[in-house]
């Protein structure tokens, strides 16, 4: 984990089993005879040892992830210092990631997160559809701190670089099948086949995944479990090497997800919450609780471990994603030219209840389509001597369309109205088209001043353009109808407000670093870099007067650290300290006004400071027994935050930043030894994430408590008639912890809804894997 994560990889085996996609995936180094295996990463767009680069990066190989039974990338929660990962509410296949306290939690695709996502070298504009199964992940790199020079804008907190395996035309035909059954009706089928089409010239890899379960959250209204998973993913990869200098890789992918949306847990309360950090601000006393006929929906005592849903029906979701990626690399004598082209088309449809109650009085339906195209062209030197450089250009364009339809029971607005008086249609309904275009040029050079001292300098100049076309639909009174009746599919009524906007931004983001190889086993470094998260428009503004734009946020990052190996590579200790200073910080706020409309808006909330220390220790006491410990300490706070969150202008500096746990701790131990005709392995993982807030006003209902989770697994591998078999048994979340992973609400007293998304408790499973 993190910079010292290599003990998680198999000892005495190569870090990677296949050559990666062009220069974005590293070739496997020669196996180490003893000690901790080396990990080769591409955090600087080159294949380099993780111990030799001045970047704080976590690296997880396929074997690492599978030994720890990490099913998707969300499973590394707690394994990386200063990192939190939570699933989103608007899709079953959406992740919210926070690194060193940098994150954005709004699910709107107009809000670009401060954490970059890169899949097979392609920058992904929105983190939907990225809950990839580890079965097809060759390597997962988590880069912490701004990565703007090489990975682009919107990486102020860091980046997740996901590399999948490609076929080798020189290999013989081989494949793998894996079957998993488990709790809540879990059934997974995974398959991979790699075969050469033209020996040494062309090969193909086919990956198929089907993952289903019957839902993990109990619903008391329907007396069943909700949140069914139904996901299929298909991936075909062609890799050609027509000459010794030219290589090409084409990746075609299709994802079909019919999983239900995560059910909400009702947090309505009749109590006015006054113990907020901001004097004069209150929340709670939700509007439905003021109606005596509906008070049964509300409760004055909220248990953070209550994961019982009450919604009246299932919440169907639909996601179809198609993607294509093309890598071309031509190697010359002293340099290479790399071209990476990516296209991604995602269509979504979802239905959910924002109230989380048995009445289902606030249903919402969303239909979305998101398309993106990107092109990167770069030059990579391979000069003899002390100088090297990477330089290139980047183009990105995306278009997003969304139509949202909602209803609200009129009786909830006024306690004097009887239930069933009518339905308020379209209180939050809108249709939005949103275009993003980004262009950039970049370069990063390295120069060895001496045999031990290296200077690294680089920069990126980015041009961004955003366009918005937003239509809001006005309030209307419908006829009485059942509260959980289906929503209209296409009828939105007459437009009440129409807003358009266009804005451009440009920014230069430099980076400077020095690294000093004090000893063969000890490298020290210091760096300064600037992060840039682009601005934009409020795609869900309650009226055209509030569409913005909001400005970009920028971050100055300072970091020092060292990376070291000791005792014949049996102990690895890496430590880093950082300080990040952010200005024009973007905050996504949802404000609901009684009788006066509602919506989401984004403001630039002045300044914030993040600082901390991260340490990673890997120990290999004896061959076959690896141990890794990662500890992160984060001190994050606003340094200047004055404004109005809906209850008057105040000094808001005392508020705690969201999703900034002070401590994160991860420990994994893995022991493998010969047993009979095969190999037996035991794996244990412990993760601790300190308490943190998820609500901008620090509403205590949105405070996720400190959580410790333990996962255990055992495996036995053996050969049978030329087939390598492996049997795996595992238990996740052994102590049955299931806190809420976030709080969603308005920021005013009297809000129509308050809800959280629960996490499942203890789960178990058994897998059978066959490789041939």
pLDDT per residue over 530-550, tens digit each? 999 999 998 888 778 888 899
Examine the pLDDT at 593 and tell me if it is beyond 60: no
Which pair of tokens denotes residue 674? 């010969």
- Among residues 681, 631, 565, 521, which one has the least CA distance to residue 64? 681
- Where are the chain's structural domains? 2-364+374-418+448-771
pTM over 0.75: yes
> Confidence class of residue 6 from pLDDT cuts 50, 70 and 90?
very low
Report yes or no: 22 and 121 within 8 Å, Cβ to Cβ.
Answer: yes
Question: In this predicted structure, what is the pLDDT of residue 11?
Answer: 37
- Among residues 165, 144, 168, 167, which one has the least CA distance to residue 156? 144
CATH class of domain segment(s) 2-364+374-418+448-771: mainly beta
Sequence-separated (6 or more) residues with CB below 8 Å from residue 76: 58, 60, 65, 70, 83, 85, 140, 142
Report yes or no: 210 and 72 within 8 Å, Cβ to Cβ.
Answer: no
Q: Per DSSP, which regions of 120-259 are E strands?
A: 122-124, 137-144, 158-164, 174-182, 186-198, 202-213, 217-219, 224-226, 229-240, 246-257
Dist CA 340 CA 378 (whole Å): 9
> Confidence class of residue 12 from pLDDT cuts 50, 70 and 90?
very low
Whole-angstrom CA distances from 741 to 77, 96, 317, 655 are: 12, 10, 20, 20
Dist CA 485 CA 474 (whole Å): 20
Dist CA 536 CA 645 (whole Å): 20
What percent of the chain clears pLDDT 90, i.e. is strictly above it? 58
Question: In this predicted structure, what is the pLDDT of residue 428?
Answer: 66
Question: In this predicted structure, what is the pLDDT of residue 488?
Answer: 42
Q: Which residues pair with 497 in a beta bridge?
A: 472
Q: In this predicted model, which residue has the larger pLDDT, 711 or 649?
A: 711
The torsion angle over the Cα atoms of residues 489, 491, 492 and 494, rounded to 10 degrees, is: 170
DSSP 482: -
> Confidence class of residue 490 from pLDDT cuts 50, 70 and 90?
very low
Which pair of tokens denotes residue 671? 């022991």
Which pair of tokens denotes residue 488? 């209209």
**Helix ranges restricted to H, 317-442:** none
Examine the pLDDT at 433 and tell me if it is beyond 60: yes
Q: In this predicted model, which residue has the larger pLDDT, 46 or 446?
A: 446
Report yes or no: 55 and 44 within 8 Å, Cβ to Cβ.
Answer: yes
């Amino acid at each position: 984990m993190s910079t010292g994560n290599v003990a998680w990889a198999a000892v005495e085996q190569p870090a990677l089993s296949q050559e990666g996609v062009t220069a974005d995936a590293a070739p496997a180094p020669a196996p180490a005879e003893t000690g901790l295996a080396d990990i080769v990463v591409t955090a600087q767009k080159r294949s380099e040892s993780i111990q030799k680069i001045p970047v704080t990066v976590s690296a997880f190989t396929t074997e690492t992830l599978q030994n720890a039974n990490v099913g998707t990338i969300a499973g590394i929660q707690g394994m990386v210092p200063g990192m939190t990962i939570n699933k989103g509410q608007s899709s079953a296949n959406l992740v919210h990631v926070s690194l060193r306290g940098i994150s954005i939690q709004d699910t709107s695709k107009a809000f670009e997160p401060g954490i970059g996502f890169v899949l097979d070298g392609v920058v992904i504009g929105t983190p939907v559809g990225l809950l990839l199964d580890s079965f097809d992940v060759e390597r997962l790199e988590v880069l912490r701190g701004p990565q703007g020079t090489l990975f682009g804008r919107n990486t102020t907190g860091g980046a997740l670089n996901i590399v999948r395996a490609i076929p080798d035309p020189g290999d013989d035909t081989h494949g793998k099948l894996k079957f998993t059954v488990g709790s809540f009706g879990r059934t997974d089928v995974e398959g991979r086949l790699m075969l050469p089409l033209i020996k040494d010239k062309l090969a193909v890899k086919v990956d198929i995944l089907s993952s289903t379960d019957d839902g993990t959250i109990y619903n008391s209204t329907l007396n069943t479990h909700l949140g069914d998973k139904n996901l299929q993913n298909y991936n075909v990869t062609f890799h050609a090497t027509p000459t010794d200098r030219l290589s090409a890789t084409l990746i075609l992918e299709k994802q079909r997800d019919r999983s239900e949306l995560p059910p909400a847990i009702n947090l309505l309360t009749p109590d006015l919450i006054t113990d907020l950090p901001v004097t004069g601000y209150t929340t709670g006393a939700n509007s439905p609780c003021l109606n005596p006929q509906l008070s049964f929906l509300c409760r004055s005592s909220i248990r953070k471990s209550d994961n019982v849903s009450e919604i009246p029906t299932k919440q169907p979701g639909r996601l179809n994603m198609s993607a294509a990626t093309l890598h071309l690399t031509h190697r010359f004598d002293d340099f290479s030219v790399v071209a990476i082209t990516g296209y991604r088309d995602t269509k979504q449809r979802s239905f959910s209840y924002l109230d989380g109650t048995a009445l289902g009085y606030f249903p919402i339906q969303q239909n979305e389509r998101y398309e993106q195209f990107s092109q990167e062209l770069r030059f990579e030197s391979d000069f003899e001597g002390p100088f090297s450089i990477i330089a290139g250009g980047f183009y990105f364009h995306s278009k997003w369309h969304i139509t949202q339809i909602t209803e609200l029971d009129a009786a909830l607005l006024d306690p004097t109205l009887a239930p069933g008086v009518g339905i308020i249609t379209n209180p939050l309904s809108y249709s939005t088209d949103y275009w993003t275009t980004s262009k950039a040029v970049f370069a990063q050079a390295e120069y060895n001043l001496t045999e031990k001292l290296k200077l690294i300098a680089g920069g990126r100049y980015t041009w961004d353009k955003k366009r918005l076309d937003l239509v809001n639909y006005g309030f209307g009174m419908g006829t009485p109808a059942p509260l959980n009746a289906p929503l209209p599919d296409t009828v939105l009524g007459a437009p009440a407000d129409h807003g358009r906007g266009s804005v451009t931004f440009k920014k230069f983001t430099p980076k400077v670093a020095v690294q000093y190889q004090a000893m063969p086993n000890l490298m020290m470094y210091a760096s300064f870099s600037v992060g840039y998260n682009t601005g934009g428009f409020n795609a869900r503004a309650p009226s055209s007067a509030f569409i913005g734009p909001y400005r970009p946020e920028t971050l100055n990052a300072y970091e020092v650290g060292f990376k070291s190996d000791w005792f014949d590579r049996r102990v690895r200790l890496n430590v880093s300290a950082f300080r990040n200073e952010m200005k024009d910080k973007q905050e996504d706020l949802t404000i609901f006004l009684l009788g006066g409309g509602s919506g989401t808006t984004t403001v630039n909330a002045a300044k914030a400071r993040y600082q901390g220390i991260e340490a990673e220790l890997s120990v290999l006491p004896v061959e076959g027994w690896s141990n890794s410990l990662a500890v992160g300490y984060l001190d994050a706070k606003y340094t200047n935050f004055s404004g109005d969150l809906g209850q008057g202008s105040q000094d808001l500096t005392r508020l705690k930043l969201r999703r900034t746990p002070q401590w994160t701790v991860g420990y994994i131990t893995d022991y493998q030894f010969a047993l009979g005709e095969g190999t037996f392995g035991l794996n244990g993982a412990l993760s601790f994430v300190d308490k943190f807030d998820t609500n901008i006003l620090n509403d205590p209902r949105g405070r996720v408590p400190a959580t410790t989770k333990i996962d255990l697994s055992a495996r036995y591998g053996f050969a049978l008639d030329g087939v390598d078999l492996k049997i795996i048994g595992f238990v996740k979340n052994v102590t049955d912890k299931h806190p809420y992973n976030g709080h969603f609400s308005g920021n005013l007293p009297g809000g129509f809804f308050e809800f959280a998304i629960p996490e499942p408790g203890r789960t178990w499973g058994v897998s059978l894997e066959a490789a041939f």
